Amino acid sequence: MSNDNFPLSRDELLRAYRTMKTIREFEERVHVEFATGDLPGFVHLYAGEEAAATGIMMHLGPNDHIASTHRGHGHCIAKGVDVKGMFAELYGRATGTCRGKGGSMHIADLDMGMMGANGILGAGAPLVCGAALASKYKKDGGVAVSFVGDGASNAGNFLESLNLAAVWDLPAIFVVENNAYAQSTSRDYAVAVDSYVDRAAGFGLPGVTVDGTDFFAVHEAAGEMIARARKGGGPSLLECSMIRFYGHFEGDAQTYRAAGEVEELRANRDCLTRFAQQVAQAGVLEQADLDSVDREVAALIDEGVAEAQQAPHPSEDQVLTDVYVSY
Amino acid sequence: MTGVTVGVIANPVAATDIRRVTANAASMPVADRANAILRVMAALGACGVPRVLMMPENGGIGRHLARSLERERKLGRTGLPARHVTATPVTGTVDDTFAATRAMVAAGVSGIVVLGGDGTHRAVAACCGEAWIAGISTGTNNAFPEHREPTVTGLAVGLAVTGRVPAATALQPNKMLQVTIGGGQGGRRSDIALVDVSLTTEAYVGARALWRSGHLREIFVTFADPEAIGLSAVAGLLRPVGRREPHGLRVWLQPPAEADTVLRAPIAPGLIEPVGVRRYETLAPGHTASLRPESGMISLDGERELYVRPGDRAEITLLPNAFRTLDVGAVMRYAARHRLLTR
Amino acid sequence: MAQQTIRQAINQAFHQEMERDSTVILMGEDIIGGTGSPGEEEAWGGAMGIYKGLYRVYGDRLLDTPLSEAAFVGAAIGAATCGMRPVAELMFIDFLGVCFDQIFNQAAKFRYMFGGKAQTPVVIRTMYGAGLSAAAQHSQTLTSMFTHVPGIKVVCPSNPYDAKGLMIEAIRDNDPVIYCEHKKIYDTTGDVPEEMYSIPFGEADIRRDGDDVTIATYGMMVHRALEAADQLAADGIECEVVDLRTLSPLDTDTILESVENTGHLVVVDEAPPRCSVAADVAAQVARDGFRDLKAPVGMVTAPHTPVPFSPELEKHFVPSADKIAACVRDTLDD
């Protein structure tokens, strides 16, 4: 089935669904594996927020850069980082994306334009200004996208970056993933003027708010912003209002959330369910298409975990390597 | 609760859509929206309204208002109505508006001040019943609500709600378009529009706001205002139809290259696009247009809302006297004539 | 060979590297000076005039920045990971506090955290030190804040020849480099070859030979140490003055070899004494050269105080040649 008036091709729709589903299954599996105690460190899950990363990253290519947050698995997957390498990284194995030296919170793959999850909130925004600046000098048509949460939107480095990007007219997009909580603190309390369109306007940038659980809303708005930046139209800000299925980190009892809140969100605001409904309503994909993707993804996740669990740990000498290029 | 209560519905996300990046559309800061409510409240207080009942939201308006009201209290400024909030859920979606409107009606509120754009007003009009609306524009493509200083709207609301202006003077009826789709693969669904209904071949809700004119096939309007922005202006530039006139207008479009009449119409703020017109005719009140549209979407008040699937039929009806709004101008003229604001 | 000041030597290094490599860009507050202002173009060329004349040649490869150190230092770092070789100026080292995250958590750690797959060839030029009555927030010697952090290199030239050679090396180096310049010695002159040359990191320079005592120091204190050595020579005490030049990597071999010969070590540092470069050098020699030492290591440093404003107080704060000479005598008498 095809529909000439639908802006995404069948292949693109399948790719979008595969990405969202891969993120969801990756996170659900990490949740389970973390509970067993086999996964070291801190992990922060992106489940529930898949539509945002996917809707944005569908417009990005190899010349484009992103800087992520501590909640970075979804951004990695959507930017094309190898899922098996990511599992191995989360297990701290030598075969991991960062050879077991970064872990969940610092996972990066510069070859894919993924400048890193970041343990420091808001720290990616200046880096993205740099990536955008480099693209401007190299004239390679690249754009750079910075992700922050509603919490880090209050950090000085983020706000400084909005100004710098505007002053230098950088091909940079600032995405605020507003999932309503900074760890446990409500953005209703912590953000004095709780509108990112207002924030953007304060720096002379156009700002747009979309429902971050609606892939198509994110996709269209991000597409316009990215195309604009690519053509030299400068920076802009996209607020995606999002929901978080899990706690701030794995192990968070989430007692600060309302009773029944998460169940309600899972039942009524699941971006994957919504995507499936939308493609069905528009008549552009069949349930069988989605089922087939589901099977591929399930197999990939199973293999990824199994291979990671079998992968070698880094050798002791690896403690000392990779500090400098030369010293 | 005793005494008069005025409902207030303020949409925190009006005017934050994609048109800010595609067409330099304006946005109204949350702080300004909250300040507009404070000015409305000052006017209501001056008219002796003891309380307002507001929609809860998490977009920052309520938080700003709470801080401001606390500040007013510390500074010893009295006379503002007490602020209450409906016990309705906050989901950040249009459902909040539906629920709060129903709660206000259930609480016996007779007038609701709405701060938002066409979309917000549409949501309130869908479930406000006999309660009337006093609209203040904070949206983007606003054809429906007036652009007016909120203090004056607040005074008019205060005078009307306290019974000092007869309803026959204060209130005016409004038309509405009702859309029902069914018969095809998508099942039966219906909705309303306050200003315009359009058929587009773009089969995609996406970022909701309608901002590409090339896919438009047909427009229905309750009123056609050449001074407005959006689809009402397209119709208005062909044949103006007032809000108080009984009929509406239906316009058939075609690609500009094939059309005899090509309008240059402001379909969104900052976006003046060629619109090819095939023909137009008036839409009689109560009349139902039944049509079999091409696959695509039906947009309501400038937002892509309803999918049209193969086999679907659409019925579009112009409803007269569908809901009431406050005629601020008429109220203030009456107040002047009758010295209502003279001590 | 032409005589140049440190200011001119660094300027020449920029000219030559920008000519050679189009990925070299320069950014900082007022480095062009007057961008967007109504007066003359390139009004300042940097707070110390380092960049004068570069904008005319290289145009938009120089960028005046808003007063946003976190953003532009971070942008320089981000651009470095994307194939550029930016040199960002942190006007005073004291401003480190507002952008340190980008340096120590981002630039310093990328290569390690990303499993060896990152290169961050960024240079952060900064001005340090007391002597201009700039007081507590514009006069510090914070070198050890950087040397403490694995993943960054720290350079501190004392003379025009080294300033040029170390800057060229810093720009070509593929790791993040902090390049510290003492604000009192920009007009110090010395021989600087016209041609391009670079000085490898991790190689100290023996500025004066001597057999009695080793004085290890860096930056402006090299000049004070040489003055002290002149005074002491009149009394027949021969000092070997080791200019560390780079603080990370640190050339401990040269220090240890010198101590092996002299048997005495005095370390001189304009920073306060605790956890400083001086303390580090003393500790390393105590560990690896203990058997060569004939006396405890002497340390001449600033006191454990902020830098005072009053010129009189500041004079007492900064280690002087007299204090260094006195410490050398004490060490030899011990």
pLDDT at position B24? 81
| Residue A273 falls inside a structural domain | no
Look at A127 and C115 and tell me if their CB atoms are within 8 Å: no
Whether the CB of A65 is below 8 Å from some CB of chain C: the reply is yes
Within chain C, what is the greatest distance between any pair of CA atoms? 66
Q: Which residue type sits at A293?
A: V
Whether the CB of B22 is below 8 Å from some CB of chain A: the reply is yes
Q: B57, B51, B68, B64: which is closest to B11 by C-alpha? A: B57
What is the pLDDT averaged over residues C9-28?
98
Q: A143, A250, A160, A145: which is closest to A199 by C-alpha? A: A160
Number of H helices and E strands in chain B, helices first, is: 9, 16
The number of beta carbons lying within 10 Å of the beta carbon of residue B224 is 30
Strands B216-221 and B288-291: unpaired
pLDDT at position C269? 98
| Residue A326 falls inside a structural domain | no
The number of beta carbons lying within 10 Å of the beta carbon of residue A63 is 16
- Tokens for B198? 């359009």
Query: What is the end-to-end Cα distance of chain C in Å, rounded?
Result: 44
- Tokens for A96? 């991991």
Strands A172-178 and A236-241: parallel
Chain B: closest CA distance from residue A121 (Å): 22
Whether the CB of A320 is below 8 Å from some CB of chain C: the reply is no
| Residue A102 falls inside a structural domain | yes
Chain C: closest CA distance from residue A302 (Å): 25
CA–CA distance, B111 with C227 (Å, rounded to integer): 88
Look at B206 and A188 and tell me if their CB atoms are within 8 Å: no
CA–CA distance, B93 with C14 (Å, rounded to integer): 56
Where chain B has pLDDT below 50, the residues are 1
CA–CA distance, A202 with A224 (Å, rounded to integer): 21
Q: B191, B190, B152, B209: which is closest to B327 by C-alpha? A: B152
Look at C66 and A323 and tell me if their CB atoms are within 8 Å: no
How big is the CA angle at B258 (ends B255 and B263), to the nearest 5 degrees?
Answer: 60
pLDDT at position B293? 82
Whether the CB of B29 is below 8 Å from some CB of chain A: the reply is yes
What is the mean pLDDT, run by run of 10 residues, along chain A of 327 residues? Answer: 72 98 98 94 95 98 96 97 98 97 96 96 97 97 96 94 97 95 86 86 93 96 96 96 92 90 93 95 92 98 98 96 96
On whether the CB atoms of residues B285 and B177 are closer than 8 A, the answer is no
Chain B: closest CA distance from residue A38 (Å): 36
Q: Which chains touch C (3 or more CB pairs under 8 A)?
A: A
Whether the CB of A126 is below 8 Å from some CB of chain C: the reply is yes
- Which residue(s) pair with B297 in the sheet? B200, B307
| Residue A274 falls inside a structural domain | no
Return the residue in C64, C95, C112, C203 with the most chain A beta carbons within 10 A, the one to mutate for interface testing: C112
Which of C25, C71, C77 comes nearest A161 by C-beta?
C71
- Tokens for B21? 């990046």
* Pairs of CB atoms within 8 A across A/B: 110
Q: Which residue type sits at C277?
A: V
CA–CA distance, B96 with B89 (Å, rounded to integer): 6
Share of chain C above pLDDT 70, in %: 100
CA–CA distance, B189 with B172 (Å, rounded to integer): 29
Kindly tell me whether chain B and chain C come into contact, counting contact as 3+ Cβ pairs under 8 Å: no
CA-only gyration radius of chain B, Å: 20
Q: Which residue type sits at A32?
A: V
Q: What is the pLDDT of residues C138-190, one digit of tens each?
A: 999 999 999 999 999 999 999 999 999 999 999 999 999 999 999 999 999 99
Domain extent at residue A192: 10-258+287-305
Look at B58 and A236 and tell me if their CB atoms are within 8 Å: no
DSSP C203-233: --EEEE--SSEEEEE-TTHHHHHHHHHHHHH
A271: number of CA atoms within 13 Å, CB side?
A: 33
Kindly identify which residue of chain A lies nearest to residue B216, measuring between CA atoms. A5
Whether the CB of B295 is below 8 Å from some CB of chain A: the reply is yes
pLDDT at position B295? 79
What is the pLDDT averaged over residues C281-302?
98
On whether the CB atoms of residues C208 and C171 are closer than 8 A, the answer is no
Whether the bond into C249 is cis, omega within 30 of 0: yes
On whether the CB atoms of residues C130 and C318 are closer than 8 A, the answer is yes
What is the pLDDT averaged over residues C35-41?
86
Phi, psi for A133 (deg, rounded to 5): -65, -45
Whether the CB of B307 is below 8 Å from some CB of chain A: the reply is yes
- State the CATH architecture for C2-192: 3-Layer(aba) Sandwich (3.40)
Q: B253: buried, middle or exposed (CB in 10 Å: 19+, 13-18, 0-12)?
A: buried
Q: Mark which residues 96-125 of B lie under 8 Å from A by CB.
A: none
Which of A118, A131, A157 comes nearest C82 by C-beta?
A131
Kindly identify which residue of chain C lies nearest to residue A133, measuring between CA atoms. C79
Q: C235: buried, middle or exposed (CB in 10 Å: 19+, 13-18, 0-12)?
A: exposed
How big is the CA angle at C16 (ends C13 and C21), to the nearest 5 degrees?
Answer: 115
- Tokens for C63? 């960028």
DSSP code for B23: S
On whether the CB atoms of residues A155 and A121 are closer than 8 A, the answer is yes
Whether the CB of B239 is below 8 Å from some CB of chain A: the reply is no
| Residue A81 falls inside a structural domain | yes
| 3-class SS of residue C70 | helix
Helix A215-230 to helix A271-282 angle (10° resolution) is 90
Residues on chain B touching A209 (C-beta within 8 angstroms): 13, 16-17
Q: Which residue type sits at C298?
A: G
pLDDT at position A246? 93
Chain C: closest CA distance from residue A5 (Å): 38
Its CATH class, for the domain covering C205-333, is alpha beta
The number of beta carbons lying within 10 Å of the beta carbon of residue A237 is 27
- Tokens for A78? 């959507």
On whether the CB atoms of residues A283 and B310 are closer than 8 A, the answer is yes
The count of domains in chain A is: 1
Q: B89: buried, middle or exposed (CB in 10 Å: 19+, 13-18, 0-12)?
A: middle
| Residue A5 falls inside a structural domain | no
What are the extents of the domains in chain C?
A: 2-192, 205-333
Q: C152, C8, C139, C134: which is closest to C80 by C-alpha? A: C152
pLDDT at position A1? 39
pLDDT at position A191? 85
Look at A327 and C110 and tell me if their CB atoms are within 8 Å: no
Number of H helices and E strands in chain C, helices first, is: 12, 14
What is the pLDDT averaged over residues C224-238?
98
DSSP C71-91: HHHHHHHHHHHTT-EEEEEEE
Look at B93 and A211 and tell me if their CB atoms are within 8 Å: yes
Kindly identify which residue of chain B lies nearest to residue A196, measuring between CA atoms. B16
Where residue B79 falls (left for φ over 0; alpha for ψ -120 to 50; beta otherwise) is left
Which domain CATH number covers A297?
A: 3.40.50.970
- Tokens for C212? 């009695």
Strands (E), chain C: 2-5, 24-28, 62-64, 85-92, 123-128, 153-155, 177-182, 189-192, 205-208, 213-217, 239-243, 246-248, 265-269, 298-301
| Residue A165 falls inside a structural domain | yes
- Tokens for C24? 């070299």
Whether the CB of A314 is below 8 Å from some CB of chain C: the reply is no
Q: Which residue type sits at B116?
A: G
C157: number of CA atoms within 13 Å, CB side?
A: 31
Residues on chain A touching B29 (C-beta within 8 angstroms): 193, 195, 198, 201
On whether the CB atoms of residues B296 and B290 are closer than 8 A, the answer is no
* Pairs of CB atoms within 8 A across A/C: 158
